[in-house]
Structure formats: C-alpha cells, structure tokens
Amino acid sequence: MPETFLLWQRRSSAKSPKRMAEPERRSGKDERLWQSSPDANPPQTQIRTEQPHPSPPHKAHRNHGHRSQRSSEGEQSMPEIIVAGKYRLLSRIGNGSFGELYRAEGLKYGEKVAIKLESASVNYPLLPREAKIYEVLRGGEGIPHVRHFCTEGVYNVMVMDLLGPTLEDLLNLCARSFSIKTTLMLADQILARVELLHRKCFIHRDIKPDNFLMGLGRHCTQVFMIDFGLAKKFYSLRSQKHIGYSEKKDLVGTARYASVRAHYAEQGRRDDLESVGYLLLYFQRGRLPWQGIRAQSQVQKYEKIAECKANMSLQAICAGLPTEFYVYLKYCRKLHFAENPDYFYLRQLFVVLFKNQTLLNDSLYDWVLLQQETQAPQEKQGGKKVRERGRDKERGVTERNRNRDRQHPRDSARNRDTNRDRGLEPIENTTRNGERNGVRGKGCNQEDKSPKKDGEACCSYHLRKKRVRDRERDRRLEQQTERRIHPEPQEPHRMQP
C-alpha cells in the first residue's frame, strides 16, 4: 500500500511548515471524533449518546474517494451526532491525507452528503485552506460542491456532495485491470480536471486513483477530482510570478505515483502530468514496476523507488502498451519547471488512439458492462419465473374448471346453455336442411375461408340480428301493401260562406 506524507502533524519543535515529517500519532482524545474535550462546549453540536443510530451495512464500494483503513468502530453503531444543525452523521467512510470522512444525511430533506472533520487544535490546519480551494474551483466540471464549512468546538467541518466509488475500488472490481477503452475514456476526463486546476494556478501534488471518483445518479459517468489538502499555488496573479525551482525537498504526495523530480525537488505542473501518466499505466497493468520494493526504513524505500524510476527507461516502463503512452511520458519529462504544458496536444494523443482503435465513446466502462452481465441472468431468471408462474396459474384454473364440471355436470350443462343463449358460445347444432350458423343452402361443414357475402351471419349473435332485421322489413312491407290496397278516405272540401 502506498505511503503518503502528511502535512498536518503536530510538531514538537519550531520547524518550517514546508518541511515534511512523519504522520503524527493521534492522541486518545482524538480517537473518537464525536467526543469533545471535557472543558469544551462546541456550539450547535448536539450529541445524543442515549439514542444510538445504527450505521448502514458496509458496502463493497465506498461512496467517497479516500483510501482508508476501516476500523471496527466505524462499522458498529454510532451515537447520533448533529453537525451544523442540519446534518446527522451516519457512518465513517475513511480518512484521507488529513482529517476523517463520514457519511451523513440532511435532517430536513434527507439528502446524502459527505462530511470531512479535522481537529482544529493542530499546528497547521489544512481543511480551511482546502475549503478555499474548493471555492476557487466552484462550478468547474468534475469538482464536488461544498455546501458548508465552519469550525464547531474542536473540529473543522466541511460538508460536500457525496460521490461514488473511487477508481481504485473500481479497479479491484474489474480484476485489477482496465481495458484500453476504459483507460482512454478516463484519461481524457482526468487530464481535463488537471488542466482546470492548473488554470486556477494550483497544482495537486497527490495524483492517485483514490483521489478520482465517479459520480452518482445522472453524474455516474463523470470523473470527479477531490482532496486538495496538499495542493499548492504555483503562480501569483497579483505579482505575475511563478514559484522558484529548488532542490533538496522532501517528498510531498504518494511515492508510487509521484514523478521522478518530486522525490527531491519542488513540484510544478509537469509533475502532476507525469503522475497522470503513471496512473494510466497502473490502470492498464494493475501495478507499476517499482511496487513491492522493500527496505529497512521508509526513507530508504522512497530512495529506492526514486532510483528505480530514474534508472528505468521509458521504453521499458511502457513496454507492451501503445506508443502514445511513451510519447506522453517523454513529453512530460522534457518540460521545463515553469513551462506551460500543451494540454490539447496531450489529450489529442489519447483521442487519436481512441479513434484508431475504432472504439465508441459511449461511457460504457468495464464496471458498467460487468454490472450488466451480472444483472442479465437475474432478469432472465426472474422473467422465467414469472412465465412459469403464469403457466401454473392457467393450469390451476383449467383443473378447477374440470373438477367443477365433473362434480356438477348438470350445472355445467346449464351454464353452457345460458352462454349459448346470450351469444357467448357459438351455436353448432345443424338444422334438417343443413343449416349451420345461420347460412342456408350449403353443407354442414363450412370451414372454407372464402369472403363472406352481404347479409351472411357468422355466429349466433349476428344470426339473431339478421332475423330481427328481416322481421322489421317484412312488417314495413305489409304496411305499405295495406296502404296501397286500402287507401285512406279523403275529407270533402268545404266551401267558405
């Protein structure tokens, strides 16, 4: 598992905030985030320990993107905690580069959100700074919306949109390897997010699969970038100056995906882009060549990883992959520290490769196809059960009717006669002259499909209608004949006086 240097640890001696050190060990008071200090009364924070609120069962996919080590406490029931008077904590999701992340819901509308907590007593709190970066990126595509930020008691609280699983979780779901189609579709979105961040004069410095998440609902095909706790401003719009280059710097970020120069020098935009290249190789192969290196200490391990990256050629790193991956990493390594990268060129490398592979950008990622494959047999089996249930129902009705006819033969005969009289059952009895279904002059068996003539009846209902029409016609003819034979007497014309 990659080790990430953290910037928020306590420092016993006066050191520069830019220097990196080992992560601090949390004290006993901070182990449970819902417990406040004995002499502190956090405002607007309600803790009701007498009514425990059970957390939902653990799911395979975490709904927000920080690589975390789930403890047994997070899976057990939590006391009911109200944050900012609007949100109730449900369960612990994990911890990121700093602070801890929780799933919560709104008290008024029940909307699901993610809440990040950080102890406000640390020497260098980073959550307020991260909230400001989110505010700068507000409205950008693939940037989660921050709903609320405040300091309550001994904790800094940031409420943001709840997102879907991380790319690391989805990689585990897809057997530790993405197809070339999924990798290229993700590459285009990831490069777009990094370009947006760089245009706002910030560099991320912690590019890794856990910091890229898929959305939920209508944003389920969109990639989101999170965790700007280690982000840094590289350009000042006020002074129009770029930060200076310097070496002998400690590593900031994750050693597995960090660039070669990030191990010993100041990072810039080129280092974020190089980390994206390693990320894409990781998606294709499921591992990187410098994974699994062992050393006696963490410092020695990072030194060996840096030597492996520097000594291994790009041809060897990109062996077995399309040439575009090699061209991408070569371009990133040749960039100068303050040089503005050509993001359009880098994105077009993968767009052209996508077209050359004759692929369709339909947002059907590997995990979507895997989900469809698992749901198809279930739906097929469910449809089969419904059809079988319908057949059983029809058989049951038929059997009940047969049993009823056997038990009450007179009633069944009476019902058939009643239906025949009502026109619900066709009359099949023939007359002496060979009449059948109201048609005369033909044989008893008329199954030919010749077109019916005008006035010909096809069933007992039409036969009765025809007979009624015939009677009415005969009655009218009789009346007309009587009027002709016996005309009505005319009254004599009277003369006026």
Residues contributing to the annotated binding site:
116
From CA 13, how far away is CA 181, in angstroms rounded? 51
**159 C-beta neighbours (distance < 10 Å), count:** 22
3 state SS of 298: helix
Question: Is 171 exposed, middle or buried, given 0-12, 13-18 or 19+ CB atoms closer than 10 A?
Answer: buried
Whether 233 and 185 have beta carbons less than 8 Å apart is answered as no
Question: Is 275 exposed, middle or buried, given 0-12, 13-18 or 19+ CB atoms closer than 10 A?
Answer: buried
Nearest C-alpha neighbor of 226 from the set 85, 93, 86, 90? 93
Q: What are phi and psi of 355, to 5 degrees?
A: -70, -40
The conformation of residue 345, written as its DSSP 8-state character, comes to: H
The conformation of residue 52, written as its DSSP 8-state character, comes to: E
Residue pointed to by tokens 């291994």: 312
Contacts of 81 (CB under 8 A, 6+ apart): 34, 45, 46, 47, 48, 88, 89
List, by residue number, the catalytic residues. Answer: 206
User: Cα–Cα–Cα angle for 455, 460, 463, nearest 5°?
Assistant: 30
**240 C-beta neighbours (distance < 10 Å), count:** 7
Which amino acids are annotated as binding site for ATP, given as ranges? Answer: 116
Nearest C-alpha neighbor of 144 from the set 74, 79, 223? 223
The conformation of residue 433, written as its DSSP 8-state character, comes to: T
Question: Is 236 exposed, middle or buried, given 0-12, 13-18 or 19+ CB atoms closer than 10 A?
Answer: exposed
**232 C-beta neighbours (distance < 10 Å), count:** 18
Question: Which two three-digit tokens encode residue 186?
Answer: 């993700």
322 membership: H or E segment, kind and range: none
Q: Give residue 407's Cα distance to chain centre.
A: 59
From CA 215, how far away is CA 212, in angstroms rounded? 10
